[in-house]
Structure 1
Amino acid sequence: MTVEGLGLACRRICSVGLGGVRPAAFAGPAEVVGWFGALQAQDYHPAKWAVAQRLGPGVTDADLDRAFDDGAILRTHVLRPTWHFVARADLRWLLELTAPRVHALNGYAYRRGELDGPLLRRTADLIADAVAGGNHLTRTEIAALLARHGIVARGFRLGYILIHAELERVICSGPLRGALHTYALFEERAPRAASLEREAALAELVRRFFASHGPATAKDLAWWSSLTRADIATGLSLVGEALESTDADGVTYWSAPGHDPVPAASPEVRLLQAYDEYIVGYRQSKYLLDLGGLTPAAPDRPALPNGVVVVDTQVAGRWKRTVRGGAVMVEAVLYRPFDAAERAALQAAADELGAFLGARAVVSARLL
């Protein structure tokens, strides 16, 4: 574990809004999501927790549901073939920039589902007509609609019909209907979302990624955004002094310029969901999360919880939550022994989760 690596990790955890002096005073969920550009959200409930952790104490699960229902944050396929939260104002330009790349990545799936261009355009038109006028429909209702028009749409095939319609800016997330997600017409849900010229969009996405994830590398951004290395180089050339670079071990890291952040008091334990941006936002430099090499000794297994326990900047275990009878049970599997201060910080992190869910937190921890 090098001093240089720890320095990069300390700067990074502040950039992602999890430690020390935060990069911005986030006024609400849309500001958190907008800071990143897009925040991975294929699991809706854990993704809400990721947003809440950047907002601090007092934010509840119901607050995030309201922001989602109101459309302040939307959930759609963008950047990669998975769901992300996106701020309403950013939805159009992000899709215009990245949808062609995601379509290309989806090419095999479209062919496997026998989803050619004419059929996908027909399904998009049918869905658009059906959800117009605020008639938000669930996935099951859309499947039934298509079936009435003689189109087989279930399972894998239905999923890619919906992804295509999202990427084409036909639909996006609507408000929840109880526990069910709905789809809404894009133009009704985000009517004032702005377009950007392609070069301006490239520069903006590159700037936001490195400001919110930095220090990070161009290969990290390529993974996160699906952009080509040529597009990333163009974006870097356009941002000018909005970013600065640092070389470490022959690798160039980019970040927003500024003073080194003030680290949080140690130890600080964070219970991160498995797809938190601090976990999934990197490819080349993901090793900065585990400078002690604990993860290779603890490979994923079906019985192992899938959340990530982080102490200060480093992975230290896994966790899962179970809500039952007014309590949230936090089960932690630790990769190394915790001292008394770390155990107290683990309980404090669980209490934060409990406050978010409106439940009492009960922690159990065992060594792997």
Structure 2
Amino acid sequence: MPTPLTPRVMGRLRLASQGLLAGGFPGIADAVRWMTAMQAQDLGMAFWAVGQRVPGVAASDVRAALDAGTVVRSWPMRGTLHLLAPEDLRWILGITSGRLATMVAGRHRELGITADDISHCRDIAYKTVEVLKRGEGAAGATREQLFQAFEEAGQVTKSQRGIHLLGSLCREAWLVQGPMAASGGKAGVQQLFVPFDDWIPKSRDLGRDEGIAELLFRYFRGHGPATIKDFGWWSQVPLTEARAALASVRDRLVELQFRGASYWLSPEAAAMLDDGVPGSRSLLALPGFDEYLLGYQDRSLVLAPKCAERVVPGNNGVFKRIIVSGGEVVGTWARSGSAKAFSVVPEPFAGALGPAAERSFQAQGRAYVQFMAS
């Protein structure tokens, strides 16, 4: 008998689609490629988002993937940083860059940024990277080095003008964030900026219609069950184009009707409804900004609206770390202690976690501490 649909069942289907149940993914690049784009403005949280989906890896392994270029980090959509497979970045930017340019146009006018300024900064960036490569053997330039070069060439970087210039260069696929920058002889928390074609010599070539269809299919495969409005918010693709794309790939997806809306997911995930969706007793300590919660316009399936303020206080756009039990967000969690010696503390929405849930959370906490320390 098919499993009846409830919000928790829909949540567990999402956990399964995102590789958060059972065995996860075999490798870091596999996880990122499956997810297509993973929120990554907080790099440490992005590392843990990957770690929750790839058993046995450590934060240093994700850092190594960035250093090797098997995973890249850029601004492909919504003006925020994401992890992507390198071959996907250019064609996704081809779909989203126009919308992104429109989103920042007003701010660029305030900052006095013109198309000529962006082209000028591209030339400065290329020259700066080449000088550093020849003189120091550096793979790229830090943000501070580029800002200094911009200032010396008359391009003001204060009042966020510098970061908008860098974002524009990445949006135009002239620069991309490459290997991690060293700081005091140790691995730092920033990445070097490198010329796009040097770091990503091979990219897939998809036209707009084909690319939107690919992006939509992969979103539903890696995030489903989700609605067309969820996809439109996540990708910023206009709904008219999104609906046209859905018509071209709907035979590769399964539609579920739930509470008067159409949700789409992969046939593999939908098949779980026949035998019982796993994960009813699962408990996960997911990072802030994780795709499990942030990757949808409507988050009420997995997070009770009355508790939304507990996850995003003041609706300020900063997502706290979340505890997910059986497909439902039941609390947040925090780090306690110093950067070198820390533990994790649960902050459940309703009283305390039960004994079994507390044991599961503590196991998740130990896994997180070990992951970040390795």
Which residue pairs with 1:334 in the alignment? 348
Residue equivalent to 1:366: none
Does residue 212 of structure 1 match 2:222? yes
Aligned to 1:48: 47
Question: What is the TM-score when the length of structure 1 is the normalising length?
Answer: 0.89
SS in 2 for 1:78: strand
1:175 aligns with 2:179: yes
Per-residue Cα deviation, 1:130-181 (whole angstroms, up to 9, x for no partner): 2246641111100100111111113410111011000100001121122132
TM-score (norm 2): 0.88
The aligned amino acid for 2:39 is Q
* Number of the residue aligned with 2:185: none
Spell out structure 1 runs of 4+ moving beyond 6 A. Answer: none
Separation in structure 1 between the aligned mates of residue 114 and residue 128 of structure 2, nearest angstrom: 21
Count residues with an aligned counterpart: 352
**Using the alignment, how far apart are the partners of 1:161 and 1:195 within structure 2?**
26
**Could you tell me which amino acid in structure 1 is paired with residue 338 of structure 2?**
R
Would the aligned equivalents of 1:298 and 1:335 in 2 still touch at CA under 8 Å? no
Q: Per chain length, whose mean CA-contact separation is higher, i.e. which structure has more relative contact order (CA < 8 Å, sep 6+)?
A: 2
Partners of 1:84 and 1:326 in 2: how far apart? Answer: 26
For the 8 Å contact 1:244–1:256, the answer to whether it is kept is yes
Unmatched segments (≥5 aa) in structure 1: 360-368
Give me the whole-angstrom Cα distance separating, in 2, the residues matched to 1:105 and 1:165. 15
**What amino acid does structure 2 have at the position aligned with 1:42?**
Q
Q: After TM superposition, give the deviation of residue 14 of structure 1 in Å.
A: 0.8
Q: 2:363 aligns with which of 342, 348, 351?
A: 348
1:1-368 → structure 2 map (5 Å cutoff): 3-19=5-21, 21=22, 26-56=25-55, 58-132=56-130, 135-178=139-182, 179=188, 180-258=190-268, 259-260=271-272, 263-264=277-278, 266-284=280-298, 286-291=299-304, 293-295=306-308, 300=313, 306-322=320-336, 324=338, 327-336=341-350, 337-358=352-373
Q: CA deviation at 1:50?
A: 0.2
Q: Percent of pairs identical after alignment?
A: 27
What do the CA deviations read for 1:246-283 (whole angstroms, capped 9, x no partner)?
A: 11121111111230165445432211111100011011
- Residue identity opposite 1:54 in structure 2: R
CA distance in 1, matches of 2:265, 2:110: 40
State the secondary structure of the residue aligned to 2:263.
strand
Instruction: Indicate how the Cα distance of structure 1 residues 331 and 137 shifts in structure 2: closer, same or farther if over 3 A, else same.
Output: same
Contact 2:311–2:322 (Cα < 8 Å) also in 1: no
CA RMSD of aligned residues (A): 2.3
Give 3-state SS (helix, strand or coil) of 2:264's partner.
strand
- Does the residue aligned with 2:296 lie in a helix, a strand or coil? coil
What secondary structure, in the 3-state scheme, does the structure 2 residue paired with 1:151 have?
A: coil
- Partner amino acid for 1:5? P
Q: 1:325 to 1:108 in 2, by over 3 A?
A: closer
State the one-letter code of the partner of 1:110.
H
Deviation at 1:89, TM superposition (A): 1.5
- Tell me how far apart the structure 2 counterparts of residues 99 and 3 of structure 1 sit (CA, whole Å): 37
| CA shift for structure 1 position 331 | 2.2
- Which deviates further from its counterpart, 126-135 or 153-162? 126-135
Bigger drift between 46-55 and 105-114 goes to 105-114
Q: Cα distance 1:34–1:170, how it changes in 2: closer, same or farther (>3 A)?
A: same
